[in-house]
Amino acid sequence: MKDFAYHKAPDLKSVQQLLTEFAEHALPVAGGSNVMVDIRNGRLNDRELIGISDIAELQGLRFSRGKIIIGAATKISEIAVSQLLAAKAPALWMAAQVFADPIIRNSATVGGNLAYASPAADLAPPLLALNADLLLLKKGGKRKLPLADFFLGVNHTALEPGELIASVEFAANARSAFYKLGLRNAMAISIATAAAAVKRVRDGSISEIRLAMGSVAPRPVRCLHAEQFLLGKQALHIDPEALAQALVWDISPIDDIRASAVYRRAMAPVLMQRAIARACGGCADEVFAGKKSADEGRAGA
């Protein structure tokens, strides 16, 4: 049997109090879909869990002046059904379609996905490609941090003790896409994921693009070499070999129970090319109106 105590925090103020009170024993928990697993397998023990999933200030999805702001305690299922995101940030929306399964999506949150800092966190690549910022809260202060500076390693982030993610924000970009490869269509931690967000295309050639991948390095990564390579290239006619060559410098995959490093290296360009093609040609409304939402974002679909 594992021991833990649970305190539900009704508002931000009480979270701060509880975090201070229990200091290094405190652990915020939102959906609990990582925390409960770690309690069960013994990685976490004797912690004071502070429930933040009902705090109003951490909820919701807003769009104003070209920016999308998502509260940290927003559930993945809310992202998955959001017409707004399907239209304005399809990469994120597609990641939500293939995230775990409908039951987990009803509890798992955006903040939890990022804060757990798994290399396989499915929301990380699309948010990196969308150049998102995090709003972080701490007793007596808040700060903004680019997501690109947030992930430090496996389960290791730039969060300071007692600091919470309040929200994530980014500029809308309809020309973005995401693909995931897993051992099955649902309830699968990814073998590799790829996200692309095109900022500008001139005469069919790419002039600004952001790429990111998951499960191919100790943390979700921006693919700067591949981005560089793509500049000036015709979006729909990319040489796969050359893209693969560029990606080699961006990723450092390992063998694990899901796949070998070799397979991941082979899959990276396949997924990335698909994400780029979708992002460049992608009209998001069409995506949302699409026939089978469950297929969206799935690599083999």
Partner 1 sequence: MTVIGTDVARLDGIAKLTGKQQYTGDILIPGMMHAVLLRSPHPHAEIIKIDTSEAEKMGAVCLTYDDILINGQAVVYNERSVSVPAATYRDRTILPNKARHLYEPIAAVAADTEELAYKALQAVKVEYRVLQPVYDPQEAMEEGAPQLYDKVYLGDKEVDICNNIGVSRNISQGDVEAGFARADRIFEQDFELPRIYHAQLETKGCVVAPEPDGGITVWATAQSIHGNRQLLGRALNLPLSKINVKKIAIGGAFGSSIQVNTVTPICAALALKARRPVKLISSREEDFYSHQKYPVRFHVKMGVTNEGMITAAELSALVDFGAHQVQPLPFLGCVAGWFASLYQYGGNIGFHGTAVYTNKTPCCAMQGYGNPQTNFAIESMIDIISGEMGFDAIEFRLKNYRGVGHEFWGQGPTIRTIIKSCGVEESLLKGREIMGWSGRGRHTDKQGRIRHGLGVARGFHTSGTGGPKEGEVIDYSSAFIKINEDGSVDVVTPVMDLGGGTWDAIAKFVSEVLQVPLQRVGLSPTDTKSTAYDVCTHATRGVYCGGGAAYHVALEVRKKLLETAGRLLNEHAENLELVRDDDLGQGVVYVKGLRDNQMTVGEIARQAQINSWGTLQYAGSYRQKNCPPCFTTHFVEVAVDTLTGEITIPKVLIYGDCGTVVNPELFGGQLIGSFGRGMAYTLYENLTMNEEGGFTTKPQAASEPIYTSQPVKDGELLNHGALADYKLPTSSEMPLIENVLVRHTDTYEPTGPFGAKGIAESAIASVQAAIANAIYNAIGIRFYRLPITPEIVLQAIQKKAVK
User: Which residues of this chain interact with ligand FAD, rule CB under 6 A?
Assistant: 27-35, 37, 52, 72, 99-100, 104, 107-109, 111-113, 115-116, 120-122, 159, 164-165, 187, 189
Q: Which two tokens stand for residue 289?
A: 């109106």
Q: How many chain residues touch partner 1 (CB under 8 A)?
A: 25
* Inter-residue contact 109 to 72 (CB < 8 Å): yes
Work out how close the CB of 210 gets to partner 1 at its nearest, in angstroms, rounded to a whole number. 24
Q: 3-state SS of 85-126?
A: HHHHCHHHHHHHHCCCCHHHHCCCEHHHHHHHCCCCCCCHHH
Question: Is 103 near partner 1 (CB under 8 A)?
Answer: no
Look at residue 299 and give the partner it binds from ligand FAD, partner 1, none, a contact being a CB closer than 5 to 8 Å depending on partner kind.
Answer: partner 1
Q: CB 98 → ligand FAD: shortest distance, Å?
A: 7
Residue 234, token pair as written in the block? 């015709």
Least spacing, CB of residue 179 vs ligand FAD, in Å = 13
User: What is the rounded CA–CA span in Å between residue 47 and residue 94?
Assistant: 34
For 158, which DSSP code?
S
Q: Given the complex with partner 1, which of 242 and 266 has the nearer CB atom?
A: 266
For residue 181, the minimal CB distance to ligand FAD (Å) is: 12
Residue 15 CB-density burial (10 A; 0-12 exposed, 13-18 middle, 19+ buried): buried
Instruction: Compute the distance between CA of residue 296 and CA of residue 55 in angstroms, rounded to an integer.
Output: 31
Give the interface segment with partner 1, choosing from 55-63, 142-150, 200-208, 265-273 (CB under 8 A).
265-273
265: enclosing H helix or E strand? helix 261-281
Residue 44 binding partner per list ligand FAD, partner 1, none, with a CB distance cut-off of 5 to 8 Å that depends on partner kind: none
Tokens of 261: 């490093």
Place of tokens 């959906």: 31
Residue partners of 71: CB distance under 8 A and separation at least 6: 57, 58, 59, 60, 61, 110, 111, 166, 167
Question: What are the beta bridge partners of residue 6?
Answer: 49
Q: Which does 270 bind (CB under 5 to 8 A by kind): partner 1, ligand FAD, none?
A: partner 1
Question: In whole angstroms, how close is the CB of 78 to ligand FAD at the nearest point?
Answer: 12
Least distance from partner 1 to the Cβ atom of residue 215, Å: 11
Q: Does 283 bind partner 1 (CB under 8 A)?
A: no
The answer to whether 106 touches 95, Cβ cutoff 8 Å, is no
267 binds partner 1 (CB under 8 A): yes
User: Which listed residue (187, 236, 283, 289) binds partner 1 by CB under 8 A?
Assistant: 187
Binding site for partner 1 (CB under 8 A): 1, 41-43, 101, 181, 183-188, 254-257, 259-260, 263, 266-267, 270, 294, 299-300
